[in-house]
Amino acid sequence: MPRPQASLLVALSVSAITITFAIISRADHAPRAVLPDGVVDLRTTEGVARVKAQWRYSDTRINEIDHRSVGSDLKASGPKNRTFDFTPDARATDFDDSKWEVIPADSLEKRRGNGRLSLNWYRLDLTIPEKVGGFDTRGSTAVFEIVVEGRQADARMARTIQFEGEKLELAARRRKLSSG
């Protein structure tokens, strides 16, 4: 039975990233001291091969754009103004990142951002294998541990972290895998 394919999308305002994917069979309320039943290190060539993944990377550009202030309807219907937006906007799960730079998993810690304000996209599509180290992943919980420049990611670091198109809150990173 094929395993679910997952998309992990991370936009970070820093330049070094480490992601470890762990499978645990315990309930969501289990204490954090419980070790995972299987780990796939997505920083390694072996890890991304195990989940049939490939890292993609893109710088993000900040552009000044025409916009409108908030109007009486609480929408952008007021007077014209200038504001900022970013491109590419790669938050959609069907965003085409095929022209982005493919980066080796073992290069994730390489500094890629160049400035004081530096936003970067890292994208990874993966397929959760049926077994990780002899552990059957069906019905288990996948946990993505995201470490940025030696610290566990928090809201100040991450702009967007999505799993299968759903924005995840960093404090609640657990979601049970479907069994089929």
CB 121 within 8 A of CB 60: yes
Count how many residues are written for the chain: 180
pLDDT of residue 13: 36
Cβ contacts of residue 143 below 8 Å, gap of 6+? Answer: 21, 22, 23, 24, 36, 173, 174
pLDDT at 100: 95
Global pTM reads: 0.67
What is residue 17's predicted lDDT score, i.e. its pLDDT? 42
Question: Looking at residue 154, what is its pLDDT?
Answer: 53
The DSSP letter of residue 71 is -
Mean pLDDT split into 10-residue runs, the chain, 180 residues: 49 41 49 72 91 91 94 96 92 88 91 78 86 85 70 53 63 44
